[in-house]
Amino acid sequence: MREFLTESVLFGAVLSMVTYGIGCWIKKKIPHPMVNPLLISIALCILCIILLKSDYETYYSGAQYIGYLLTPSTICLAVPLYEKFELLKKNYVALLCGITAGAVGSMAVVFALSMLFGLEHTEYVTLLPKSITTAIGMGVSEELGGYPAITAAAIMVTGITGNMIAETACKIFRITDPIAKGIGIGTASHAVGTSKAMELGEVEGAMSSLSIVVAGVITVIFAPMFAPMI
């Protein structure tokens, strides 16, 4: 029975969807911004895989089919971007200032904390590109001599954190402008954060999408300058 469950190609896909469904159900019962369907789903998936004595490989052989939609889905972020293009043109100075401050700030914070924790060069450059989208971030990490797999893990933790704290952080720090919210969320936590921004509103989503692209580019340019500092 257990073998049948875990060896079926649909096991991973079904597990992902059902756990996400449970996450949404819990969110409906407890509508707190920190209750996060994505995190609940990930935790339940890992728990099920361990309890069924299966492994990630088996899970992923089915779940990857869900992941295939990620590229088309990311590309669709261009649609809200297009629909809010006038807003984008009107505010481009503010957007560029905000994203640059965030992207450079991200690397500065990683630098400061790495110094504080006494991390080595390799560990430091592994974390440098942690705020940008996985595909660019892993490339930057590899180029600087970091561990791309750990960069990917750090990027995920960043995304999930951003997704979870977005609403609370904007409220506490009085970020009320929807454009500013979107830029903050997207610059800090790439596409995973953007999926939260999309739920907050169209403007937030469009601005967050824009931040993924621009923050990625800025990080590619500035990371090599930050790298030799430790």
Of 165-204, which residues contact other proteins (CB under 8 A)? 165-166, 169-170, 173, 175-177, 179-181, 183-185, 187-189, 191-196, 198
Within positions 31 to 50, which residues make up the interface with other proteins, using CB under 8 A? 37-38, 41-42, 45-46, 49-50
Is residue 59 a contact point for other proteins (CB under 8 A)?
yes
Considering only the stretches 1-9, 26-34, 108-116, report the one whose residues sit in contact with other proteins under the rule CB under 8 A.
Answer: 108-116
Q: Is residue 163 within 8 Å of residue 38, measured between CB atoms?
A: yes
CB atoms within 10 A of CB 122: 14
Is residue 10 a contact point for other proteins (CB under 8 A)?
no
Pick the binder of other proteins from 3, 9, 10, 85 (CB under 8 A).
Answer: 85
Is residue 145 a contact point for other proteins (CB under 8 A)?
no
Task: Quickly list H helices, the chain.
Answer: 2-7, 10-29, 37-51, 56-67, 70-75, 78-83, 85-90, 92-117, 121-127, 134-144, 148-172, 178-200, 202-226
- Residue of 125, 124, 123, 134 whose CA lies nearest to 159: 134
Is residue 218 a contact point for other proteins (CB under 8 A)?
no
Q: Is residue 166 within 8 Å of residue 183, measured between CB atoms?
A: no
Whole-angstrom distance, CA of residue 192 vs CA of residue 39: 11
Pick the binder of other proteins from 9, 10, 113, 225 (CB under 8 A).
Answer: 113
Can you tell me whether residue 23 is helix, strand or coil? helix
Residue (30 or 167) nearer to other proteins, CB: 167
CB atoms within 10 A of CB 202: 15
Pick the binder of other proteins from 5, 14, 17, 26 (CB under 8 A).
Answer: 17
Considering only the stretches 1-9, 25-33, 139-147, report the one whose residues sit in contact with other proteins under the rule CB under 8 A.
Answer: 139-147
Is residue 25 a contact point for other proteins (CB under 8 A)?
no
Is residue 52 a contact point for other proteins (CB under 8 A)?
no
Exposed, middle or buried: residue 142 (CB in 10 Å: 0-12, 13-18, 19+)? middle
Is residue 6 a contact point for other proteins (CB under 8 A)?
no
Pick the binder of other proteins from 25, 67, 171, 225 (CB under 8 A).
Answer: 67
Whole-angstrom distance, CA of residue 42 vs CA of residue 61: 16
Residue (6 or 205) nearer to other proteins, CB: 205
